[in-house]
């Protein structure tokens, strides 16, 4: 079965993609009749060397994303994973020559089709009297034994674009640029790994991987790698990649060792999430620095992709200060990242957090009877939520991402860990404030934020008094704040429904002579009834409101959890005979 692609046609997808890039970038122009993009200010390059690159489409943002002042002059694009036509390459060379450039350097990735087509175009242009040189970039570090074809051209080619572009912008001549670029290319290596293949528009995936396999050392055209390894953690995968890249018995290794200074590229091969990319970048930094390697610059993003391939490549380029200046030189290329000209290694990566404000001394000693009672209540709440984890997750799967029980269990475990540190504050206001901070930090999700808001607001009336009317006022304050920021109202099928029903019953505490247990018992029953009633409600807030019809057959898990918390509090207080 062919994969789904958002294209107008398979045949025209490369043309449409390049047209879209040019349409959105005033600094680029298309060369009529060819799949070629050029700088729109070609006339400003008179007397300088032009830089042309390219290859098959499907590697975006390479190569056209790197056209701009300080990088490429133009790009010739082929069909997906197909070398561009000789005629288009020659047309691009003629176009930059007519603009008054003093020579053209072709930067070509080491693939047979690219070498042949760019090479033929070069020969024809030279026959016309146009000065043209060509560098073939092979930075692949996958093969332990080099074959006749040599190392494949991978993401390191982008660094060559940058170095050559900076030299050209500085007015360096064609021969010198060619010489320096060839030297830089020898100090570079790239290795890729992928979780699965990619698929050319109109075709099936190029290879298959089982669920527990990862492809190591693959290229950028969907071809299989040098070997398959078992799925492992990001740290383990990165270590394996760096071990392979720097192994001196590997004929294509990059000579990085302790004391080396490098530019590191962490390149998304197209389908990896940014979350995974960040994890891999962190693993690479830690692993390299652990080997005594200095990371002078780190580039993380999508530079040279293989369509939607969910994988990553690591590139290491050995650098000195003169080469770093070329990497840091200004460019207007849209796909080049805004990298600070500061070493990654040696930089302070964290800041001390502000100290918590000093609290007023608790008028009731922690560890006293009130504090012990608070601990009993919290322990019962924790055991209740932990026991409900699977049930709440099951309810949440109907309307959300199925993690409501997990979120509440995370809060319960955090509270238990906190209780191990010592007795809780006996002051209700301080207790609620502490719990608020704890849940905001540890619980996560919208539930953590809502409970945190509720408890923060509820603590305020209890700073002055802890009478029954004050507890009722605390409930009112918590509910008001929860509605203010959560935007839910009673009847919207959320946790607010249970709490609101309980809050209405707790209004009775404001009357003289109100009975603690009678009112609280009625509040708990009302909360439980409200939670059950949410199954008949249409969701008006929260994730469930986005579901078609927004009417579900199960009660809201947040409302169920809130009612269960209130039930746990009541049962402990009744057992203690408060």
Do 399 and 255 share a structural domain? no
Residue showing tokens 């049930």: 391
Contact 384/576 with Cβ under 8 angstroms? no
Classify residue 70 as left (phi > 0), alpha (psi -120 to 50) or beta.
left
The residue behind tokens 């409101």 is 545
Question: Is residue 54 over pLDDT 90?
Answer: yes
Residue 365 pLDDT > 60:
no
Let me know if residue 359 belongs to a domain: no
Q: Is the pLDDT of residue 272 over 80?
A: yes
**Does 474 lie in the same domain as 404?**
yes
Nearest to 190 by CA among 87, 317, 68: 317
What's the mean pLDDT in 9-31? 97
- Measured over the CA atoms of residue 470, residue 473, residue 478 and residue 479, the dihedral's sign is positive
Could you give the CA distance from residue 40 to residue 32 in angstroms, rounded to a whole number? Answer: 13
CA pair distance 427, 56, nearest whole angstrom = 69
The pLDDT confidence band at residue 548, using thresholds 50, 70 and 90, is very low
User: Tens digits of per-residue pLDDT, 367-386?
Assistant: 577 888 899 999 999 999 99
Whole-number pLDDT of residue 539: 62
**Is 386 among the domain residues?**
yes
Q: Are residues 411 and 535 in the same domain?
A: yes
Are the C-beta atoms of 385 and 557 separated by less than 8 Å? no
pLDDT value at 246 more than 90: yes
| The two three-digit tokens of residue 141, written as one number | 């570090």
Note whether 412 and 464 are same-domain residues: yes
| Cα separation values, 4 from 7, 15, 19, 199, 202, Å | 9, 19, 21, 9, 8
Are 404 and 492 part of one and the same domain? yes
Q: Is residue 364 over pLDDT 70?
A: no
For residue 106, the model assigns a pLDDT of 98
Sequence-distant (6+) residues with CB within 8 A of 339 are: 297, 298, 299, 328
How high is the pLDDT of residue 359?
A: 59
Residue 349 maps to a domain: no
Would strands 294-301 and 103-109 be described as parallel, antiparallel, or unpaired? unpaired
Cα dist from 44 to 135, 174, 348, whole Å: 24, 17, 42
d(CA 166, CA 131): 20
The answer to whether residue 6 sits within a structural domain is: no
Active site residue 221: yes
Which of 453, 450, 447, 380 is closest to 415 using CA atoms? 380
DSSP string, 404-437: HHHHHHHHHHHHHHHHHTSPPPSSHHHHHHHHHH
Residue whose C-alpha is closest to residue 63's, from 113, 121, 17: 17
At 146, the pLDDT band (50, 70, 90 cuts) reads confident
Residues 110 and 222 reside in one and the same domain: yes
More confident residue, 329 or 364: 329
- Whole-angstrom Cα distance, residue 220 to residue 173? 32
Q: Note whether 288 and 401 are same-domain residues.
A: no
Q: Establish if 97 belongs to a structural domain.
A: yes
* Same domain as 564, residue 483: yes
Task: Find the DSSP H helices in 421-550.
Answer: 428-442, 445-459, 468-486, 495-506, 516-533
Residues marked as binding for substrate? 56-59, 109, 114
Query: Exposed/middle/buried for 573, CB within 10 Å: 0-12, 13-18, 19+?
Result: middle
Q: What is the mean pLDDT of the chain?
A: 93
Is residue 353 domain-resident?
no
Residues 225 and 303 in one domain: yes
* Confidence check: pLDDT of 546 > 50: no
Question: Of 328, 350, 384, at which residue does a domain stop?
Answer: 328
**Which of residues 304, 328, 352 is at a domain's end?**
328
- pTM beyond 0.85: the answer is no
Of the three residues 300, 328, 356, the one that is the final residue of a domain is 328
The answer, yes or no, to whether residue 112 has pLDDT greater than 90, is: yes
Is 387 found in the same domain as 255? no
Q: Residue 442 sits in a domain of what CATH number? A: 1.25.40.340
Q: Give the total number of structural domains in the chain.
A: 2
- pLDDT tens digit sequence for 457-501: 999 999 999 999 999 999 999 999 999 999 899 998 999 999 999
Q: What is the mean pLDDT of residues 289-305?
A: 98
Domain-located, residue 364: no
CA distance 77 to 38: 11
Q: Looking at the structure, tell me whether residues 277 and 373 fall in a common domain.
A: no
Asked if 384 and 290 sit in the same domain, the reply is no
Active-site residue, selected from the candidate residues 34, 63, 221, 244:
221
401 pLDDT tier (thresholds 50, 70, 90) = confident
Tens digit of pLDDT for each residue in 26-51?
A: 999 999 999 999 999 999 999 999 99
> Per the domain annotation, does 98 fall within a domain?
yes
Residue 399 has pLDDT above 80, yes or no: no
Q: Which domain holds residue 94?
A: 12-201+210-328
Of 488, 491, 420, 421, the closest CA to residue 454 belongs to 488
Which CATH number does the domain housing residue 313 bear?
3.40.50.10440
């Amino acid at each position: 079965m062919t994969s789904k692609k958002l294209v107008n046609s398979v045949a025209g997808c490369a043309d449409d993609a390049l047209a879209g890039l040019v349409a959105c970038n005033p600094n680029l122009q298309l060369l009529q009749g060819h799949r070629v993009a050029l700088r729109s200010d070609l006339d400003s390059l008179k007397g300088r060397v032009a830089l042309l690159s390219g290859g098959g489409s499907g590697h975006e943002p390479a190569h056209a994303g790197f056209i701009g002042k300080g990088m490429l002059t133009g790009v010739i694009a082929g069909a997906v994973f197909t070398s561009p036509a000789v005629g288009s390459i020659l047309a691009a060379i003629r176009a930059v020559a007519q603009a008054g450039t003093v020579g053209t350097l072709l930067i070509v990735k080491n693939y047979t089709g690219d070498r042949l087509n760019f090479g033929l175009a070069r020969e024809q242009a030279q026959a016309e009297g146009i000065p043209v040189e060509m560098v073939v970039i092979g930075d692949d570090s996958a093969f332990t034994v080099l074959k006749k074809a040599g190392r494949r051209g991978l993401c390191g080619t982008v660094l060559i674009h940058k170095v050559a572009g900076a030299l050209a912008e500085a007015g360096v001549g064609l021969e010198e640029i060619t010489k320096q670029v060839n030297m830089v290319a020898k100090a570079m290596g790239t290795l890729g790994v992928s979780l699965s293949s990619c698929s050319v528009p109109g075709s099936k995936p190029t290879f298959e991987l089982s669920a527990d396999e990862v492809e190591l050392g693959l290229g950028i055209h969907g071809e299989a790698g040098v070997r398959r390894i078992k799925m492992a953690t990001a740290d383990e995968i990165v270590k394996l990649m760096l071990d392979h890249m720097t192994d001196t018995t590997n004929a294509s290794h990059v000579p990085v060792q302790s004391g080396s200074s490098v530019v590191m590229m962490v390149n998304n091969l197209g389908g990896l999430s940014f979350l995974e990319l960040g994890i891999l970048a962190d693993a690479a930094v830690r692993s390299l620095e652990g080997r005594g390697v200095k990371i002078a610059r780190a580039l993380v993003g999508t530079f040279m992709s293989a369509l939607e391939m969910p994988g990553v490549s690591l590139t290491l380029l050995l650098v000195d200060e003169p080469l770093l200046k070329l990497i840091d030189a200004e460019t207007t290329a849209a796909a080049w990242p805004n990298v600070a000209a500061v070493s990654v290694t040696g930089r302070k990566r964290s800041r001390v957090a502000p100290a918590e404000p000093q609290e007023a001394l608790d008028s009731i000693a922690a560890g006293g009877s009130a504090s012990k009672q608070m601990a009993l209540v919290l322990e019962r709440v924790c055991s209740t939520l932990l026991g409900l984890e699977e049930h709440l997750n099951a309810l949440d799967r109907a309307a959300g991402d199925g993690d409501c029980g997990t979120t509440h269990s995370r809060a319960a475990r955090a509270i238990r860990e906190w209780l191990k540190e010592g007795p809780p504050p006996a002051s209700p206001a301080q207790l609620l404030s502490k719990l608020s901070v704890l849940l905001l930090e540890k619980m996560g999700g919208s539930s953590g934020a809502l409970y945190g808001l509720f408890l923060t607001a509820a603590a305020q009336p209890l700073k002055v008094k802890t009478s029954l009317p004050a507890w009722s006022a605390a409930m009112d304050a918590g509910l008001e704040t929860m509605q203010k920021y959560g935007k839910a109202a009673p009847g919207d099928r959320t946790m607010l429904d249970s709490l609101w029903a309980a809050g209405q019953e707790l209004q009775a505490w404001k009357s003289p002579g109100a009975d603690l247990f009678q009112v609280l018992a009625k509040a708990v029953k009302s909360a439980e009834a409200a939670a059950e009633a949410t199954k008949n409600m249409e969701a008006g807030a929260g994730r469930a409101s986005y579901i078609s019809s927004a009417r579900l057959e199960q009660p809201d898990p947040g409302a169920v959890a809130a009612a269960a918390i209130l039930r746990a509090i009541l049962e402990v207080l009744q057992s203690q005979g408060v």
